[in-house]
Structure 1
């Protein structure tokens, strides 16, 4: 029984049985058989930190990864760093380093590429490929998994000397009847395999190290809560409609889900039924979906190559944006004078921007050109002569949801990385942000300070600041534009002479017009004026004392302003919108 709210706001109860055809209107989609390699504790494994050690990885002052020893202390992902430090004096706190984790993951990617030439990297610790060709070549899925596990096992991670403590087994909200008899969780001590129909189900299966039978996607996912589909969905509305689990969703007709939840309902319905065309597969890509950048003379420096790629990638992505399309999977290929090539396919749960494709490409080049004894790949013997960027998969929804386990860059991270890059180019102190403050004038209530990460992360308690006692504080509403420094101006009387304020807080003559040559071409006649309000701050401090008077004035054209007079000179302090 499911409860729905129609367009008029009325609630109705409907029951739908499994006898109805769920696929009567579904397009024919070729769902590939997928393999996903998942390393549950990669942030620690990439740094050679044992699970027996009390350690956490922190990003933006929040915990993003926890060892088993730290979890035993009650520390969980998303906890704030301040609360975790109180739980143990031996706790090791590590700053998140995406580039480090990604570069170390090259060891795993190299092994996977021995079994499939097109391995897609979803995030550090998560990659996969289409099983169709490799499974046939290596004698079936089971044979391929055993050989791949044996090859991965040769990567030496000493921190997993005791496999019995390797990880915490998650709850299994699915029936064993949906799985193949052999589980992949016993193949290795530090990695898990997930095999299923479609990329989404394979990612879910990789969290448990299981192989889902062909055609059993629906049965496998039915017991999961609706949140298994990832971020970016209105799950609260679904739960208020009685949809708590995937099985509740799949009981409903597709047309009804589209009517109630739009494209999101259709997408979730298809994923739950194993209709997933987002798998890793070759596609017929139009020429307009790729761009080729040639380097003459050949490029040797990664920074130079990446800089030359920027404008071409911008044009490629802009052509997609103009058609309402957003890239999700992109192949980047570099080739040298000696015909050496290095290809990598990048996949994200959210649209890929130019900036982050270039960041990934830079890491791709560095991992290829930098000698590394831990990988078998030889560095190129000559310079790069061309780079080809090819868009393999797109979406028409710019706010597509993040997939399970996805570590793709979300909007907050995009802002942080953009700020850090701008700061590196412009220098320290060049990036400023407003910070709430206490004071009487609009300039005192907010201060521009150098950008710091904690300012972006921690919400300010504006209620505490605004409630501070400040006699003489300018009442609201706040002006829309505050000048710092203030702008020189003049207030003239009817006789054309300058108007001042006496020691008793009175105008020396009737204000008639305002002259601000730096902002307005002509003087503005005064329509209304309030004040002056004398103020004497820090009168006990001869060096920092400040004596002034403030007025609020409205010009005849409706422009409202705030001005001050200090040391017999007028200044424009703010403008109201």
Structure 2
């Protein structure tokens, strides 16, 4: 058969098409996903109705919100003040990983009543192999219907399920509540946006942003690149993301089986019946477990926590993690699991204390011992006795007030003082954002204020006639600043001032199109003998228009 000049040439089959050999495909997984689980868990613990808007905050920003809150205009990443201005009746809860894991154990237990081999990916998501269960229940569709109904009745949780090859594709299928036919994972992923690569805990935000700036907007477009080109341009992390976009799993199907002696078992005398006692034992056991893997050059990515009670009850759960688990991560998951076992309620708690606790590495990867960086800001400080004591003290404080209560500062790029420093919880990786050292047009000139407010207090900037100042279209003040009133302290005379400096960043975002300028002023305060220097910000859209962004020493 001949081809006319206008007839397109036949294309070779895609390497991820249905012609891929069955042996190279990832196993089919069923993923059950509870939407907005941090909000659902917080609302359930507080006895809040699902019809009321609610959100969970971390570092003064929204990390999760309910569907009712989204309908009111609340979005992830929004500051608390802006969210409450859009929805005054919004119920706000602090992020609590322990609470999310403890309440989710009821959902995992309900899934385990129907399907064996439950793996907790994170609070809100569980994965199970689908092959055996689908044959038992007469097909995947019957299994999905039965599972959703059972979880709704037994755990009282709203959930969605999806089936596909590999955990990544199955999770996205659960977000859309659909089973993907066998062998079509690549076709299912192809039209989806590359932002789907940035799943919770993956830390691929910078890669996604780079792909979008390069014009790669869909997973299919990313999958069409060769693996060699991806490795040369994006490194090992890019190759892993490329595998996911191509419909393959994070790791090849032939995974290394850990040796039997890698499991760690501890006999508890007296038996454990309190969460605090279990948390104390978990620290020691996690260190032994991690050292045993590290001596063999391994790291654990799927942890099995198994326990036996005095009355012979067998308890067990698998925890999956995208990154190799550290000793602290292992201890946290053991503590979360004990909280779920001992406080799940409704007649599901064990009838006696735990007498035997066993940690088993159900999946391992090549790795090395992970060490905790201390004071040198990522430069590799030595582990001195003083630094070790300080680290233990800070971890102890975190156990009392929560992980977000102890933070260290990391310098990031940005135009404003609040954008130039990011607080990282103690123990997390302290890496500056990409491009932090690049030039930033319209950046606030030095020196930077010593105190920066998360919620800037209002201010009144007035001219000599007592009228509040405004800013013209050319970013000039309508009059010279004469007095500034901060809160209820009364007006202070302006001794000197500099600016204004316009800020036109994020003009493409609908909610950030309002103009704003910054103004540095030195005030003569009657309460203090020395003048006070403050950084003021004027916002075109907002009430009040003038706020205090920072205070200089």
Question: Which TM-score applies when normalising by structure 2?
Answer: 0.60
Runs (4+) of structure 1 exceeding 6 A deviation are 23-27, 279-283, 415-418, 430-435
Q: Structure 2: how far apart are the matches of 1:266 and 1:432?
A: 32
Where 1:463 maps in the other structure, the secondary structure is coil
Q: CA, structure 1 residues 277+256, in 2 after alignment: closer, same or farther (shift >3 Å)?
A: closer
Once the two structures are TM-superposed, the CA of residue 60 in structure 1 deviates from its matched residue by 1.7
Q: CA, structure 1 residues 258+27, in 2 after alignment: closer, same or farther (shift >3 Å)?
A: farther
Aligned to 2:358: 388
Q: Deviation per CA, 1:452-486, whole angstroms, max 9, x where unpaired?
A: xxxxxxxxx9734379xxxxxxxxxxxxxxxxxxx
Aligned to 1:361: 334
Q: Is the 8 A contact 1:36 1:128 kept in 2?
A: yes
Aligned to 1:227: 195
Q: Structure 2: how far apart are the matches of 1:434 and 1:266?
A: 31
Q: Is the 8 A contact 1:130 1:281 kept in 2?
A: no
Q: Is the 8 A contact 2:294 2:367 kept in 1?
A: no
Q: Is the 8 A contact 1:370 1:379 kept in 2?
A: no
Residue 284 (1) aligns with residue 257 (2): yes
Q: Is the 8 A contact 1:293 1:309 kept in 2?
A: no
Once the two structures are TM-superposed, the CA of residue 34 in structure 1 deviates from its matched residue by 0.7
Q: Is the 8 A contact 1:29 1:277 kept in 2?
A: no
Q: Structure 1: how far apart are the matches of 2:406 and 2:122?
A: 29
Aligned to 1:421: 396
Match of 2:447 among 463, 468, 479: 463
- Map 1:68-467 → 2, pairs under 5 A: 68-155=67-154, 157=156, 190-230=158-198, 231-232=203-204, 234-276=207-249, 284-322=257-295, 324-370=297-343, 372-373=345-346, 377-381=348-352, 383-396=353-366, 419=394, 421-422=396-397, 463-465=447-449
RMSD over aligned CA atoms reads 4.3
Aligned to 1:55: 54
Q: CA, structure 1 residues 378+424, in 2 after alignment: closer, same or farther (shift >3 Å)?
A: closer
Where 1:328 maps in the other structure, the secondary structure is strand
Q: Structure 1: how far apart are the matches of 2:270 and 2:232?
A: 57
- Map 1:33-52 → 2, pairs under 5 A: 33-46=28-41, 47-48=43-44, 49-52=48-51
Larger radius of gyration: 1
Once the two structures are TM-superposed, the CA of residue 297 in structure 1 deviates from its matched residue by 4.5
Q: Is the 8 A contact 2:343 2:349 kept in 1?
A: no
Q: Is the 8 A contact 1:292 1:388 kept in 2?
A: yes
Q: CA, structure 1 residues 416+96, in 2 after alignment: closer, same or farther (shift >3 Å)?
A: farther
Where 1:252 maps in the other structure, the secondary structure is coil
Once the two structures are TM-superposed, the CA of residue 198 in structure 1 deviates from its matched residue by 1.0
Q: CA, structure 1 residues 298+191, in 2 after alignment: closer, same or farther (shift >3 Å)?
A: closer
Unaligned runs of 5+ in 1: 1-15, 158-188, 399-414, 436-450, 452-460, 468-539, 546-577
Q: CA, structure 1 residues 243+281, in 2 after alignment: closer, same or farther (shift >3 Å)?
A: same
Q: Structure 2: how far apart are the matches of 1:433 and 1:395?
A: 30
Q: Structure 1: how far apart are the matches of 2:233 and 2:92?
A: 45
Q: Structure 2: how far apart are the matches of 1:380 and 1:20?
A: 59
Once the two structures are TM-superposed, the CA of residue 248 in structure 1 deviates from its matched residue by 1.5
Once the two structures are TM-superposed, the CA of residue 203 in structure 1 deviates from its matched residue by 0.5
Q: CA, structure 1 residues 148+418, in 2 after alignment: closer, same or farther (shift >3 Å)?
A: farther
Q: Structure 2: how far apart are the matches of 1:28 and 1:80?
A: 48
Question: Which TM-score applies when normalising by structure 1?
Answer: 0.57
Q: Is the 8 A contact 1:371 1:379 kept in 2?
A: no
Once the two structures are TM-superposed, the CA of residue 278 in structure 1 deviates from its matched residue by 5.4
Q: CA, structure 1 residues 70+330, in 2 after alignment: closer, same or farther (shift >3 Å)?
A: same
Q: Deviation per CA, 1:153-212, whole angstroms, max 9, x where unpaired?
A: 32475xxxxxxxxxxxxxxxxxxxxxxxxxxxxxxx921111111111000111111110
Once the two structures are TM-superposed, the CA of residue 43 in structure 1 deviates from its matched residue by 3.0
Q: Structure 1: how far apart are the matches of 2:127 and 2:397?
A: 34
Once the two structures are TM-superposed, the CA of residue 389 in structure 1 deviates from its matched residue by 0.8
Q: CA, structure 1 residues 418+148, in 2 after alignment: closer, same or farther (shift >3 Å)?
A: farther
